[in-house]
Structure 1
Amino acid sequence: MGELRRRAYLTAMQVVSWLPRTELPFAAPSRAELLQPLPVEEVAVVAPVPATAPTARVTEPAAPAPSLPRVQIKPVRAEPPVSPVSDAQEPAEPALAKLPVPRFALQLYRAGNCLLLVELPTGEPFQSRDPAYLLLKDLLRAAGLPDAPQLLGEPVRWPLLARGNLDQGPQAAREFVQGYVMARVEEQEQAPASIWLIGLPALRFAGEAEADSYENELSIDGIGSAWALPGLELLMDEPERKAPLWRAMCRVRSRWETS
């Protein structure tokens, strides 16, 4: 240990005066006044050494270090923080982490006595020769519905605003999509027999369900009976999904055929 670090340690321990037992490496020279022998009358009496013991070299006692005041440290018990809120008020709930803003585009159609809430894979309305739109027409023909669905309103794109402090999280998106679909249902002269939710965004934000509900029927408050389908892009990427979808369609198609 170097001299500067050694003196820093001793200062931190409040050691004012000290002498080493042995010669310290890298130490500064000792102060000569500390090595002077004490007066004879102050030298302590040393007990006689037994004859059998070897003669030991007696070192002169070092000058006594000035006594320091003894500090008594009392353990401090941690007290709970005092809240400025009165006892009658409940403590505020911790702030929740802000959820990411979902991004999707949905289009609402009517085909016969069914409504279709379809995820737009590109975010833009379908064109007549789009592969996804051709697949949608095939699904409608297989279900016994008109294969030229009628547009209902403009596409629903989320988030609504590119900037601003408006809450556009998942809960706000769910409330908006459900309110939009309910308003379109009320505008119809005849209530739809079923609403197809095609794609995960349609299923998640209109039906409050996840992908494990594909090919199943759902009952949604304010909307009615719904049928969950995988997205058109997913059906094209994974053709093996078409077989269970066909079996589910055979099971539920009686709902719109008998209406």
Structure 2
Amino acid sequence: MITESRRRAFLDAMQITTWLPRAELPFAAPSRPELLQFFEAEEEAAPVVEPQPAPQPARATSEGLAPAAAASTSPAADAARAVMSRVSMPESKKSAIKADEGQTRAVEQSVAVPPPRFALQLLRAGNVLLLVELPTGESFQSRDPAYILLKDLLRAARLPDSPQQVGDGEPIRWPLLHRGSLDQGAEAARDYVQGVVAAELEDMGCACLWLVGSPALRFAGEVEPDACYRELTIEGLGVALTMPGLEQLMEQPGSKAQLWKAMRRSMPRWVIGLSGSTSSVHE
């Protein structure tokens, strides 16, 4: 069974505002009585539409105008007028039509964009909350190279090197559903990730939030993946320290020095009575 905070985040991501369980759920908040009341909508009277008299065809005022009117309604005349209207169309109108066509194509392309795919693990080490990208998409194992590097980072930051899983321990995966018409775009993914993290902060605050990996930066910090080694103030989540992914740190040893400088600047947030330290991130 999932906790109430995780369940609430799932429902918000699926845009469900009112729901009733089939049976009593453990750890769930009590149902509100007002949700059980149903009201029938009053039937509105159909509007009365008065018939309009059919317009009478215009008559020619003289015999000289009759041939001209007949010629104007011929198919050849209509085709000629259509061609002339396109030739004499102002450039501004042509550009406006092209702009509208471009916007239509952009909308069609945006609809066809597949939902983002990622897996994040929410962990806690002391008074620091960690949102870490899972390189393999599965939970960390004790002998994973990425997990060993994460433990090294925690020791260098003077934090417990055995982070605890938060909630039910299940990773935050996206998309939620593999079928259906539910909107699972980038905006919905951002709302869901921030909702899960905010629910944990509501239960137990933290001194700093670590965002490790590009999905954590994009969907929790709302910044580009290259915005690493800096502090952010996120509305509803507080202060966060941005870091590259664990795989990138293993592939690019030089980035560890940049990360260590950023960690030293932010360390007073979670370490009380900080003094000069000579610790370093393990290569």
Query: What is the match of residue 85 of structure 2?
Result: 77
Match of residue 226, structure 1, among 240, 249, 252: 240
Per-residue deviation, residues 216-247 of structure 1 (Å, max 9, x unmatched)? 00010000000000101111111111011111
SS of the residue 1:173 aligns to: helix
Q: Using the TM superposition, give the Cα deviation of residue 211 of structure 1 relative to its aligned residue in structure 2, in angstroms.
A: 2.5
Match status 1:132 vs 2:140 = no
Query: What is the match of residue 208 of structure 1?
Result: 222
Distance 1:254 1:175 in 2: 30
Q: Using the TM superposition, give the Cα deviation of residue 182 of structure 1 relative to its aligned residue in structure 2, in angstroms.
A: 0.5
Residues 124 and 164 of structure 2 are in contact (CA less than 8 Å); yes or no, is this contact kept in structure 1? Answer: yes
Query: What is the match of residue 185 of structure 1?
Result: 201
TM-score by length of 1: 0.63
SS of the residue 1:124 aligns to: coil
Query: What is the match of residue 166 of structure 1?
Result: 182
SS of the residue 1:196 aligns to: strand
Residues 215 and 225 of structure 2 are in contact (CA less than 8 Å); yes or no, is this contact kept in structure 1? Answer: no
Distance 2:195 2:203 in 1: 13
Match status 1:237 vs 2:251 = yes
* Aligned residue type for 1:174: R
Distance 2:254 2:269 in 1: 25
Distance 1:251 1:179 in 2: 28
SS of the residue 2:247 aligns to: helix
Query: What is the match of residue 116 of structure 2?
Result: 102
Q: Using the TM superposition, give the Cα deviation of residue 176 of structure 1 relative to its aligned residue in structure 2, in angstroms.
A: 0.6
TM-score by length of 2: 0.58
How many residues align structurally?
Answer: 175
Match of residue 113, structure 1, among 102, 107, 127: 127
Match of residue 210, structure 2, among 190, 196, 201: 196
Query: What is the match of residue 10 of structure 1?
Result: none
* Aligned residue type for 2:173: R
Per-residue deviation, residues 100-127 of structure 1 (Å, max 9, x unmatched)? 3111000100101000000001111001
Mean Cα deviation higher: 192-201 or 96-105: 96-105
Per-residue deviation, residues 196-229 of structure 1 (Å, max 9, x unmatched)? 0000000100000112310100010000000000
Distance 1:211 1:157 in 2: 18
Query: What is the match of residue 59 of structure 2?
Result: none
Larger helix share, 1 or 2: 2
Distance 1:128 1:211 in 2: 27
**For structure 1, which runs of at least 5 residues remain unmatched after alignment?**
1-70, 81-92
Identity of paired residues, percent? 60
Distance 1:239 1:211 in 2: 18
**For structure 2, which runs of at least 5 residues remain unmatched after alignment?**
1-75, 91-102, 274-283
RMSD of equivalent CA atoms: 2.2
SS of the residue 1:249 aligns to: helix
Distance 1:200 1:185 in 2: 21
Distance 1:180 1:232 in 2: 22
